[in-house]
Amino acid sequence: MSVAVVGTVGLSVVAGVLVAALVTPAIAVAGTTVNNTVGIFDSLPQFIEIDQQPQQNRIFANSNGEAVQIATMFDQNREEVAWEQVSAFVKDAAVSGEDRRFYEHGGVDPTGIARAAVTNLAEGGIAEGASTITQQYVKNTFIQAALELPTEEEQEAAYNAAIDTTFARKLQEMKLAISLEKQYTKEEILLAYLNIANFGGTTYGIEAAAQRYYNTTSLELTAAQSASLIAIVQSPTALRLDNADNWAGNTERRNVILNAMLSDGKLTEEQHAEAVAVVEDGTTITLTEPSNGCRVANNYAQYFCDYITNLIPDIASLGDDETERAANWKRGGYDVYTTLDMALQTTAQDAVWANAPNNTTTLQLGAAAVSVEVGTGRILTMAQNKTYDNTGDADPTTTAVNFNTDRAYGGSSGFQPGSTYKVFTLLNWLENGHGLYERVNGNPRTIAQSEFTNGCDPSQVVGIPYEFGNDDGFGGQMTVATGVQRSVNGAFMSMALELDLCDIKETAESIGVHRADGGELGMTPASVLGTNEIAPLTLATAYAAIANEGVYCESIAIDRIVGPDGDEIGGQPQNCSEQLSADVANTAAFAMAAVMVGNGTATRSNPNDGVEYIGKTGTTDSSNQTWVVGASTRVATAVWVGNIEGEYAMRSYRNNLGNQGGVIRHDIFRPIAQAVDKTAEYRGVAFPDPAPDLLTGVSSNSRSTTGTNTDDD
C-alpha cells in the first residue's frame, strides 16, 4: 500500500478540542498544555488516499476461445470487491460491531472520545483510542505499507510504529481520518475498510474471508456468517475460524455484534434469533484452502505457471526495472492471459505421462514436449513427465526444474540435441550457395581438426584428430538431401569442412539458438553433430523460423495483462524478424520434409493426416538423449526423452507400454501433431517450393577417410 501524505491545512478548532479531550491525560503527564495540542494537530500531515490493496494475481490459459484460470499467486490473499458485491449484512455488522455512529461522525467520534477520555484519565495514558472505522482504515493503511517494505527488519519497525499507542501516532491517525472523510463518501470508506481488513493469517478483505471460511462470496454471506467474520477483525489471531480453539470466543463476539444489529434495527427479531442459533463449528464452517502458487495450479499447467512467474522480471509493462516489476507483482491484482492452449496442452501432457512414466527406476527418465505457433512465437504447450514440486522433497517422481526452458527461467542446463542441431549446418550450407543435390562423402572417418575453419575462435579446431561414426552404417557418396533424410554424420561433417564453424554457429544464433545455461555456443567439429546443451523451447522456436520462411519470432508466453485498475497494460510483444532468406528456409524445409516420410528417421512421428511436416531426429552417443523436432506451417513442436542425470542407453529401456526407449519421442510427438491438425486455427498447409538454384548449387570436393562411433540419428 502506498501512502500519499501531502499538505498541512489547518482544521477546525472543534477538531482540535476533540483531540485534546481524548489526549488530556497523556498531555497532563507530559506537562503539555491543551492549547499546544491544537498547534501540534494543525502541523501534522493531512491527507491519505484510498488506494487499491495487495491482491491475488491470476493466470489464465485459453480453452476453446475462453479464458480459464489455471493458477493464483499472492503474497496476501485478497480479492477486492465493489460495494454492490458485498452483502448488506456485512456492512451492517461492521457498523454495528465496530462503529455504531459511523454515518454520523466526521472521522472522529465525539461520543467515543468522551468515553475514551474517561478511561485514559483513569489509566494515565492512551489506554483506549475510540477508533472509528475510518481511523481503523488509516491504521490498516500504515500496517499495509509496513508489510510491503523490502526487509523483515524494516517491516517490523514500521509495523510497530503503525500500532503504537503514543499520543503522536494517535493524533496523526485522527487527523488523517478527519481528512479522509472530507475526500470520500461513507460508502467508499466502509468498502475500503472491508477490503483492507485482516481476517487472520494471510487472509485479507471480506471476499477472501468469505471464500476461506465459508466457501462462498461476500455477497452471499448470511447474517451469522457476516457477524462472525467482522468479529475476527477485533483480534485476527484469537478469533480466526480456522482454529477450533477460537470458535467459542468468535461466537461470543459474533453474538455481541448480532445484538447490536438487532438494537440498531438492522435485523428483525426472526433474523436475529436464527443467526444466534447458529453454532460455529465444523458443521457450519467450510474451510477452503486458497490455491496459492504453481504447486496447486491446474495439474496440466504447473510448469507453465512456473515459467510465467520466472518471466515477470522481463515484462516491461509491470515496471521500469526488475525491482519495480517484482514489487508490483508481489502487490498483485494482475490478470495474466497466457498463450497456453489447454486443449492441446492436455493432449501433450497426457502423451508425455503415458509414454514416459515419472516413477521409472531403471534410469532417471525425463521427458518434455513444447509447441510454439509459427509466425507469432506463442507457446501453445509445455509438458513434462515429472510432477511439479518446489518444496525440495526428495521424491524421484517430482522436480521443480522445467526441462523445457533455460536455467534462467526455472529450467535445467539443457540437453545435448544430437542430430537436431545438424539443421543449422544445412542452413549455412544453403546460405553459402550450396545445393541439396550436391554429392558429399558420407563415410565415417577421422579428420584432422586443422582441416576445419573457425573464423571466430581458431583455438576450437586444434587437438587430436576428430573421429566419428555413422549410426546405421550407411555411408558412401550421397547427395546432401539423402544425408539429411538419413541423418548421416559423415555427410554433415563433409559439409562443415566446406563451411566455417563460426558461420554455422551464427546461423543458429540468428534464429534464437543458445545454450540453456547461458554460456556461449561451442564451435568445435563435434558441435556440428549436436554437443551444445539446448532447451526444447529453443529448438521448437528455431524450427518455427524455418517453417515461417526464415522469419524468426521470439517465443512468448503472455498475450496480455490486465492491471489492478482494470486497464490492459500489454503482455509480451510479438518480436519477429527475417533472419534467413525465404529461399534458404524453404529449401531446407524441402529437405527436412523427407525426414518425415519413406526412409526418413522421423516417419513414426508423422501424424499422417494430410498435413505436411518437416522435422529432424536426434540421438546422442550411446542413445543417452533422444529428440524429435518438427513443424507444420502453423505449429512447431520439440520432444526430448532421455536421462536427466547419468547415462543409460535409451535403446536398452522399455517403457510401461513395452515400447523401446528410442521411439518414445515419436509416440509423444505424433498425438500432439494430430491434435494440432484437428484444430482449424492451427492446421497447416503445404510448404512452399524450394529454390531451384539451391537444389543444384555448386560442385563440392569430397573428402574421404575412415572413422568410428558417434550416433547420427
Model pLDDT for residues 335-385, shown as the tens digit of each residue: 999 999 999 999 999 999 999 999 999 999 999 999 999 999 999 999 999
Cell 573421429 found at: 467
22: cell is 481524548
Does residue 160 surpass a pLDDT of 80?
yes
Please tell me the distance from the alpha carbon of residue 640 to that of residue 617, in angstroms, as a whole number. Answer: 10
| Of 130-134, 184-188, 248-252, 339-343, minimum mean pLDDT range | 130-134
Residue 426's nearest CA partner among 588, 539, 540, 582 is: 588
Q: What is the DSSP string of 57-70?
A: EEEEEEETTEEEEE
- As to burial, measured by CB atoms within 10 angstroms (0-12 exposed, 13-18 middle, 19+ buried), residue 487 is buried
Residue 166, classed as helix, strand or coil, is: coil
Q: Which residue has the cell 531446407?
A: 588
pLDDT at 366: 97
Amino acid (1-letter code) at residue 207:
E
Report the 10 Å Cβ neighbour count for 438: 20
Other C-beta atoms closer than 10 Å to the C-beta of 419 total 28
Of the candidates 590, 559, 575, the one whose C-alpha atom is nearest the C-alpha of residue 695 is 590
Other Cβ atoms within 10 Å of 600 Cβ, number: 21
Which of these ranges, 141-145, 148-152, 195-199, 499-503, has the smallest mean pLDDT? 148-152
The residue behind cell 468479529 is 231
Q: Give 154 or 658, the one with higher predicted confidence.
A: 658
Distance in angstroms (rounded) separating the CA atoms of residues 362 and 654: 10
Question: Rounded CA gap, 224 and 143, in Å?
Answer: 28
Name the residue type at position 185. T
Confidence of residue 170 (pLDDT cuts 50, 70, 90): confident
Q: How many CB atoms lie within 10 A of CB 703?
A: 16
Across the range 212-219, mean pLDDT stands at: 97
- Beta strand 57-63 with 335-341 is parallel
Alpha-carbon distance of 672 to 369, in angstroms, equals: 9
Please name which of 16, 72, 393, 116 lies closest in space to residue 208, comparing C-alpha atoms.
72
| Buried b / exposed e along 118-144 (16+ C-beta atoms within 10 A) | eebeeeeebebbbbbbbbbbbbbbbbb
Confidence of residue 158 (pLDDT cuts 50, 70, 90): confident
Predicted pLDDT at 703: 29
Distance between CA 380 and CA 147 in Å, rounded?
37
| pLDDT-based confidence at residue 3 (cuts at 50, 70, 90) | very low
Q: Which distant-in-sequence residues (6+ apart) come within 8 Å of 506 by Cβ?
A: none
pLDDT score recorded for residue 26: 39
Res. 483 pLDDT band, cuts 50 70 90:
very high
> Whole-prediction pTM value?
0.85
> pLDDT tens for residues 65-113?
999 999 999 988 899 999 999 999 999 999 999 999 999 999 998 776 6
Q: Is pLDDT above 80 for 4? A: no
pLDDT at 704 (0 to 100): 32
Average pLDDT over residues 691-711: 57
Query: What are the residues whose beta carbons fall under 8 Å from the beta carbon of 669, sequence distance 6 or more?
Result: 369, 605, 628, 630, 637, 639
Question: Mind listing the pLDDT tens digit for each residue in 562-609?
Answer: 999 899 999 999 999 999 999 999 999 999 999 999 989 999 999 999
Q: Which of 49-53, 161-165, 435-439, 607-611 has the lowest mean pLDDT?
A: 161-165
DSSP SS3 for 82: coil
**Residue-averaged pLDDT of the chain:** 89
pLDDT confidence of residue 131: 85
Handedness of CA 30, 32, 33, 37 (dihedral sign): negative
> In the chain, pLDDT over 90 holds for what percent of residues?
78
With contact defined as beta carbons under 8 Å apart, do 543 and 631 qualify? yes
Q: Which of 614, 613, 544 is nearest to 579 (CA)?
A: 544
Pairing of strands 558-562, 614-619: unpaired
Provide mean pLDDT across the span 156-163: 84
Give the cell for residue 632.
507444420
Q: What is the average pLDDT across 396-418? A: 97
Give the pLDDT mean for 313-340: 95
pLDDT at position 652 over 80: yes
d(CA 46, CA 8) in angstroms, rounded, equals: 6
pLDDT in tens, 274-286: 999 999 998 999 9
Better pLDDT: 225 or 43:
225
Q: Is the pLDDT of residue 24 over 80?
A: no
Surface-to-core class of residue 612, CB atoms within 10 Å of its CB (0-12 exposed, 13-18 middle, 19+ buried): middle
pLDDT tens readout for residues 172-207? 888 899 999 999 999 999 999 999 999 999 999 999
pLDDT class for 663, splitting at 50, 70, 90? Answer: very high
Question: Residue 53: pLDDT band by 50, 70, 90 thresholds?
Answer: confident
**Backbone φ and ψ of 552, nearest 5°:** -90, 130
d(CA 243, CA 361): 42
pLDDT value for 144: 87
Confidence (pLDDT) at 518 = 96
- At residue 122, the pLDDT reads 56
Least confident of 8-12, 117-121, 465-469, 658-662: 8-12
Residues 6 or more apart whose Cβ sits within 8 Å of residue 363: 643, 646, 648, 653
Identify the structural domains of the chain with CATH numbers, from first to last: 1-47+79-196 (1.10.3810), 201-292 (1.10.3810.10)
